[in-house]
A = this chain, B = another copy of it.
Amino acid sequence: MSQDIEKIIREINWDSKPINLYLPIAYTMESGGKRLRPMLADIAFEMFSGRGDTIKDAARAIEIFHNFTLLHDDLMDNSPTRRNRPTVHTRWNANTAILSGDAMLIKAYEFLGKTPSQYWEKLLPLFTKTALEVCEGQQFDMDFETIDDICIEDYFEMIRLKTAVLLACALKMGAILADASDDDQQTIYSLGIALGMAFQLKDDYLDTYGTTETLGKRVGDDILSYKKTFLLLTALHKADDSQKKRLVSAMSTKDITDEQKIKTVTLIYNELDIPQICEKVIDEYYIQANNLLEKISVPSESKEPLKTLINKLKIREK
Protein backbone atom coordinates (compact mmCIF):
# COMPACT_ATOMS: atom_id res chain seq x y z
CA MET A 1 0.00 0.00 0.00
CA SER A 2 2.98 2.33 0.48
CA GLN A 3 2.52 4.06 -2.89
CA ASP A 4 -1.06 4.92 -2.12
CA ILE A 5 -0.84 7.08 0.99
CA GLU A 6 -2.10 10.14 -0.81
CA LYS A 7 -4.95 8.09 -2.23
CA ILE A 8 -6.12 6.69 1.12
CA ILE A 9 -6.08 10.19 2.59
CA ARG A 10 -8.07 11.56 -0.34
CA GLU A 11 -10.57 8.72 -0.12
CA ILE A 12 -11.88 10.10 3.18
CA ASN A 13 -15.38 11.38 2.62
CA TRP A 14 -16.01 14.86 4.04
CA ASP A 15 -19.29 15.37 2.24
CA SER A 16 -21.43 15.84 5.38
CA LYS A 17 -23.62 18.55 6.82
CA PRO A 18 -23.30 21.26 7.96
CA ILE A 19 -20.98 22.12 5.07
CA ASN A 20 -19.55 25.08 6.98
CA LEU A 21 -18.11 22.54 9.40
CA TYR A 22 -16.87 19.89 6.94
CA LEU A 23 -15.79 21.94 3.92
CA PRO A 24 -12.90 23.62 5.78
CA ILE A 25 -11.79 20.14 6.87
CA ALA A 26 -11.85 18.84 3.29
CA TYR A 27 -9.94 21.98 2.24
CA THR A 28 -7.30 21.33 4.90
CA MET A 29 -6.95 17.63 4.17
CA GLU A 30 -6.64 18.05 0.41
CA SER A 31 -3.85 20.58 0.66
CA GLY A 32 -1.19 17.90 0.58
CA GLY A 33 1.99 18.18 2.54
CA LYS A 34 4.50 15.38 2.96
CA ARG A 35 2.02 12.83 4.40
CA LEU A 36 5.03 11.78 6.45
CA ARG A 37 3.10 10.45 9.45
CA PRO A 38 0.74 8.07 7.60
CA MET A 39 3.74 7.03 5.50
CA LEU A 40 5.67 6.10 8.65
CA ALA A 41 2.68 4.15 10.01
CA ASP A 42 2.46 2.22 6.77
CA ILE A 43 6.19 1.58 6.47
CA ALA A 44 6.33 0.18 10.00
CA PHE A 45 3.25 -1.96 9.32
CA GLU A 46 4.82 -3.44 6.21
CA MET A 47 8.22 -3.86 7.86
CA PHE A 48 6.64 -6.13 10.46
CA SER A 49 4.68 -7.97 7.74
CA GLY A 50 1.31 -6.52 8.70
CA ARG A 51 -1.51 -8.10 6.73
CA GLY A 52 -4.64 -6.65 5.17
CA ASP A 53 -5.44 -2.97 5.23
CA THR A 54 -5.98 -2.41 8.95
CA ILE A 55 -3.27 0.26 8.79
CA LYS A 56 -5.38 2.46 6.51
CA ASP A 57 -7.63 3.89 9.19
CA ALA A 58 -4.84 4.34 11.71
CA ALA A 59 -2.85 6.19 9.04
CA ARG A 60 -5.88 8.37 8.31
CA ALA A 61 -6.43 9.05 12.01
CA ILE A 62 -2.90 10.25 12.49
CA GLU A 63 -2.90 12.46 9.37
CA ILE A 64 -6.23 14.02 10.39
CA PHE A 65 -4.81 14.67 13.85
CA HIS A 66 -1.67 16.24 12.40
CA ASN A 67 -3.71 18.51 10.14
CA PHE A 68 -5.92 19.45 13.10
CA THR A 69 -2.81 20.67 14.95
CA LEU A 70 -1.71 22.69 11.92
CA LEU A 71 -5.16 24.26 11.61
CA HIS A 72 -5.30 25.38 15.25
CA ASP A 73 -1.58 26.31 15.34
CA ASP A 74 -2.00 28.52 12.27
CA LEU A 75 -4.89 30.28 13.98
CA MET A 76 -2.91 30.74 17.20
CA ASP A 77 0.15 31.99 15.26
CA ASN A 78 -2.09 34.07 12.99
CA SER A 79 -0.36 32.59 9.92
CA PRO A 80 -1.96 33.84 6.70
CA THR A 81 -0.91 30.95 4.44
CA ARG A 82 0.01 27.26 4.59
CA ARG A 83 1.23 25.24 1.62
CA ASN A 84 0.71 28.28 -0.61
CA ARG A 85 -2.98 28.60 0.20
CA PRO A 86 -4.87 30.83 2.65
CA THR A 87 -5.21 29.21 6.07
CA VAL A 88 -8.73 28.30 7.24
CA HIS A 89 -9.10 31.27 9.57
CA THR A 90 -8.01 33.55 6.69
CA ARG A 91 -10.25 31.99 4.06
CA TRP A 92 -13.19 31.58 6.46
CA ASN A 93 -12.82 33.00 9.97
CA ALA A 94 -11.47 32.22 13.44
CA ASN A 95 -14.65 30.50 14.64
CA THR A 96 -14.65 28.18 11.64
CA ALA A 97 -11.02 27.31 12.33
CA ILE A 98 -11.80 26.55 15.97
CA LEU A 99 -14.87 24.39 15.38
CA SER A 100 -13.68 22.57 12.25
CA GLY A 101 -10.45 21.83 14.08
CA ASP A 102 -12.38 20.40 17.03
CA ALA A 103 -14.36 18.19 14.66
CA MET A 104 -11.09 16.98 13.08
CA LEU A 105 -9.75 15.90 16.44
CA ILE A 106 -12.92 13.89 17.04
CA LYS A 107 -12.75 12.50 13.49
CA ALA A 108 -9.21 11.28 14.21
CA TYR A 109 -10.62 9.21 17.06
CA GLU A 110 -13.44 8.04 14.79
CA PHE A 111 -10.92 6.64 12.31
CA LEU A 112 -8.88 5.09 15.09
CA GLY A 113 -12.12 3.40 16.14
CA LYS A 114 -12.34 1.76 12.71
CA THR A 115 -9.25 -0.35 13.43
CA PRO A 116 -9.88 -3.91 14.74
CA SER A 117 -10.92 -3.54 18.36
CA GLN A 118 -8.42 -6.11 19.65
CA TYR A 119 -5.74 -3.42 19.08
CA TRP A 120 -7.54 -0.62 20.90
CA GLU A 121 -6.03 -1.37 24.29
CA LYS A 122 -2.64 -0.51 22.83
CA LEU A 123 -3.60 2.06 20.19
CA LEU A 124 -5.92 4.31 22.16
CA PRO A 125 -3.70 5.08 25.17
CA LEU A 126 -0.76 5.64 22.81
CA PHE A 127 -2.72 8.02 20.61
CA THR A 128 -4.24 9.90 23.55
CA LYS A 129 -0.91 10.26 25.33
CA THR A 130 0.70 11.49 22.11
CA ALA A 131 -2.10 13.94 21.37
CA LEU A 132 -1.79 15.47 24.85
CA GLU A 133 1.98 15.69 24.50
CA VAL A 134 1.60 17.56 21.21
CA CYS A 135 -0.66 20.10 22.98
CA GLU A 136 1.89 20.38 25.77
CA GLY A 137 4.66 20.96 23.23
CA GLN A 138 2.64 23.69 21.54
CA GLN A 139 2.03 25.37 24.91
CA PHE A 140 5.74 25.22 25.81
CA ASP A 141 6.51 26.73 22.40
CA MET A 142 4.10 29.60 23.07
CA ASP A 143 5.45 30.01 26.62
CA PHE A 144 9.00 30.29 25.25
CA GLU A 145 8.07 33.48 23.38
CA THR A 146 7.92 35.38 26.64
CA ILE A 147 10.69 33.63 28.58
CA ASP A 148 14.21 34.94 28.16
CA ASP A 149 16.35 32.20 29.65
CA ILE A 150 15.35 29.10 27.71
CA CYS A 151 18.10 26.49 27.89
CA ILE A 152 18.79 24.07 25.06
CA GLU A 153 17.47 21.14 27.11
CA ASP A 154 14.09 22.91 27.41
CA TYR A 155 14.12 23.42 23.69
CA PHE A 156 14.85 19.74 23.02
CA GLU A 157 12.01 18.72 25.33
CA MET A 158 9.66 21.14 23.55
CA ILE A 159 10.40 19.76 20.07
CA ARG A 160 10.23 16.19 21.39
CA LEU A 161 6.67 16.90 22.49
CA LYS A 162 5.60 19.14 19.65
CA THR A 163 7.05 17.12 16.77
CA ALA A 164 8.89 13.91 17.62
CA VAL A 165 6.25 12.00 19.60
CA LEU A 166 3.77 12.04 16.71
CA LEU A 167 6.29 10.50 14.31
CA ALA A 168 7.15 7.92 16.95
CA CYS A 169 3.45 7.24 17.55
CA ALA A 170 2.87 6.70 13.81
CA LEU A 171 5.67 4.14 13.62
CA LYS A 172 4.56 2.36 16.78
CA MET A 173 0.94 2.19 15.58
CA GLY A 174 2.12 0.42 12.44
CA ALA A 175 4.12 -1.98 14.58
CA ILE A 176 1.18 -2.66 16.91
CA LEU A 177 -1.21 -3.36 14.04
CA ALA A 178 1.35 -5.74 12.55
CA ASP A 179 1.67 -7.62 15.86
CA ALA A 180 5.33 -6.72 16.34
CA SER A 181 6.91 -7.77 19.64
CA ASP A 182 6.83 -5.36 22.58
CA ASP A 183 10.59 -4.88 22.26
CA ASP A 184 10.31 -3.96 18.60
CA GLN A 185 7.40 -1.62 19.34
CA GLN A 186 9.54 0.15 21.91
CA THR A 187 12.58 0.29 19.63
CA ILE A 188 10.67 1.72 16.68
CA TYR A 189 9.10 4.31 19.00
CA SER A 190 12.57 5.43 20.10
CA LEU A 191 13.65 5.46 16.47
CA GLY A 192 10.70 7.76 15.74
CA ILE A 193 11.76 10.13 18.51
CA ALA A 194 15.30 10.38 17.07
CA LEU A 195 13.88 10.86 13.58
CA GLY A 196 11.47 13.52 14.83
CA MET A 197 14.20 15.44 16.65
CA ALA A 198 16.34 15.41 13.50
CA PHE A 199 13.31 16.42 11.45
CA GLN A 200 12.53 19.48 13.58
CA LEU A 201 16.18 20.54 13.87
CA LYS A 202 16.43 20.33 10.08
CA ASP A 203 13.35 22.54 9.84
CA ASP A 204 15.08 25.11 12.05
CA TYR A 205 18.26 24.81 9.98
CA LEU A 206 16.46 25.20 6.64
CA ASP A 207 14.54 28.23 7.85
CA THR A 208 17.85 30.08 7.94
CA TYR A 209 20.09 28.09 5.61
CA GLY A 210 17.63 26.85 2.98
CA THR A 211 16.83 28.67 -0.22
CA THR A 212 13.56 30.30 -1.20
CA GLU A 213 13.53 28.20 -4.39
CA THR A 214 13.62 24.80 -2.70
CA LEU A 215 11.72 25.80 0.46
CA GLY A 216 8.88 27.53 -1.39
CA LYS A 217 8.77 30.16 1.34
CA ARG A 218 10.82 33.08 2.55
CA VAL A 219 14.09 32.24 4.29
CA GLY A 220 14.73 33.86 7.67
CA ASP A 221 11.24 33.96 9.17
CA ASP A 222 12.50 32.53 12.47
CA ILE A 223 15.08 35.32 12.72
CA LEU A 224 12.51 38.01 11.97
CA SER A 225 10.10 36.64 14.58
CA TYR A 226 12.93 36.28 17.15
CA LYS A 227 12.01 32.62 17.49
CA LYS A 228 14.04 30.71 20.05
CA THR A 229 15.27 27.97 17.75
CA PHE A 230 18.17 25.61 18.26
CA LEU A 231 20.29 27.98 16.14
CA LEU A 232 19.59 31.04 18.27
CA LEU A 233 19.82 29.26 21.62
CA THR A 234 23.13 27.64 20.65
CA ALA A 235 24.46 30.95 19.36
CA LEU A 236 23.49 32.71 22.60
CA HIS A 237 25.12 29.91 24.57
CA LYS A 238 28.37 30.00 22.58
CA ALA A 239 28.69 33.75 22.09
CA ASP A 240 31.08 35.87 24.13
CA ASP A 241 29.73 39.06 25.65
CA SER A 242 30.44 41.18 22.59
CA GLN A 243 28.93 38.65 20.15
CA LYS A 244 25.90 38.22 22.40
CA LYS A 245 25.36 41.97 22.44
CA ARG A 246 25.59 42.18 18.64
CA LEU A 247 23.25 39.22 18.25
CA VAL A 248 20.56 40.48 20.62
CA SER A 249 20.82 43.94 19.14
CA ALA A 250 20.47 42.62 15.56
CA MET A 251 17.54 40.37 16.49
CA SER A 252 15.61 43.09 18.33
CA THR A 253 16.35 46.29 16.41
CA LYS A 254 13.70 47.92 14.28
CA ASP A 255 16.17 50.26 12.58
CA ILE A 256 17.30 47.91 9.79
CA THR A 257 15.41 46.23 6.95
CA ASP A 258 14.30 42.61 7.18
CA GLU A 259 16.98 41.64 4.68
CA GLN A 260 19.70 43.38 6.68
CA LYS A 261 18.49 41.72 9.86
CA ILE A 262 18.56 38.24 8.35
CA LYS A 263 21.99 38.89 6.85
CA THR A 264 23.50 40.25 10.07
CA VAL A 265 22.18 37.44 12.27
CA THR A 266 23.24 34.80 9.75
CA LEU A 267 26.76 36.25 9.71
CA ILE A 268 26.98 36.02 13.51
CA TYR A 269 25.66 32.43 13.33
CA ASN A 270 28.39 31.66 10.80
CA GLU A 271 31.08 33.22 13.00
CA LEU A 272 29.94 30.91 15.80
CA ASP A 273 29.89 27.78 13.57
CA ILE A 274 26.19 27.36 14.18
CA PRO A 275 25.45 25.63 10.84
CA GLN A 276 28.17 23.04 11.46
CA ILE A 277 27.00 22.44 15.03
CA CYS A 278 23.42 22.09 13.88
CA GLU A 279 24.38 19.66 11.11
CA LYS A 280 26.37 17.62 13.59
CA VAL A 281 23.48 17.31 16.06
CA ILE A 282 21.12 16.37 13.24
CA ASP A 283 23.59 13.75 12.01
CA GLU A 284 23.84 12.29 15.49
CA TYR A 285 20.08 11.85 15.62
CA TYR A 286 20.13 10.15 12.22
CA ILE A 287 22.91 7.83 13.37
CA GLN A 288 20.83 7.04 16.46
CA ALA A 289 17.80 6.32 14.27
CA ASN A 290 19.80 4.00 12.04
CA ASN A 291 21.34 2.20 15.02
CA LEU A 292 17.88 1.60 16.42
CA LEU A 293 16.76 0.31 13.02
CA GLU A 294 19.60 -2.22 13.18
CA LYS A 295 18.25 -3.55 16.48
CA ILE A 296 14.80 -4.36 15.10
CA SER A 297 14.27 -8.11 14.72
CA VAL A 298 13.20 -8.36 11.09
CA PRO A 299 15.28 -9.35 8.03
CA SER A 300 17.40 -6.47 6.83
CA GLU A 301 15.66 -6.34 3.44
CA SER A 302 12.41 -5.54 5.28
CA LYS A 303 14.15 -2.52 6.75
CA GLU A 304 15.01 -1.01 3.39
CA PRO A 305 11.93 1.20 2.94
CA LEU A 306 12.42 2.86 6.34
CA LYS A 307 16.15 3.17 5.74
CA THR A 308 15.41 4.86 2.41
CA LEU A 309 12.92 7.25 4.01
CA ILE A 310 15.35 8.16 6.79
CA ASN A 311 17.97 8.93 4.19
CA LYS A 312 15.53 10.97 2.13
CA LEU A 313 14.64 13.06 5.18
CA LYS A 314 18.34 13.48 5.95
CA ILE A 315 19.17 15.04 2.60
CA ARG A 316 15.94 16.98 2.14
CA GLU A 317 16.24 20.62 1.15
CA LYS A 318 12.62 21.52 1.95
Contacts and interface: CB of A to CB of B under 8 A. Distances in A.
Contacts of A53: none
Nearest to A21: B139
A110 interface: yes
Nearest to A120: B120
B76 A98 contact: yes
A92 to B, nearest CB: 11
Contacts of A109: 109, 124, 128
Interface residues of A, number: 37
B121 A117 contact: yes
A8 interface: no
A113 to B, nearest CB: 5
Contacts of A166: none
Interface string A184-208: 0000000000000000000000000
B18 A139 contact: yes
Contact of A142 (B72, B95, B110, B113): B95
A156 interface: no
Interface in A153-186: none
A140 B138 CA distance: 30
Contact of A105 (B106, B117, B125, B138): B106
18 contacts: A18-B140, A20-B142, A21-B136, A72-B98, A72-B102, A76-B99, A94-B94, A99-B138, A99-B139, A99-B142, A102-B102, A105-B105, A106-B128, A106-B131, A106-B132, A106-B135, A109-B128, A110-B132
Q: How many chain copies? A: 2
Contacts of A21: 135-136, 139
Nearest 9 A/B pairs, CB to CB: A21-B139, A103-B135, A76-B95, A18-B139, A106-B131, A110-B128, A106-B132, A117-B121, A113-B124
A134 to B, nearest CB: 9
A20 B106 contact: no
A17 interface: yes
A124 to B, nearest CB: 5
Contacts of A95: 76, 142
A72 to B, nearest CB: 6
A110 B140 CA distance: 21
A125 B143 contact: no
A218 to B, nearest CB: 24
Interface string A242-284: 0000000000000000000000000000000000000000000
A105 B76 CA distance: 18
A109 B113 CA distance: 12
A57 to B, nearest CB: 13
A263 B94 CA distance: 34
Interface string A100-117: 011101110110010001
Contact of A120 (B18, B99, B117, B132): B117
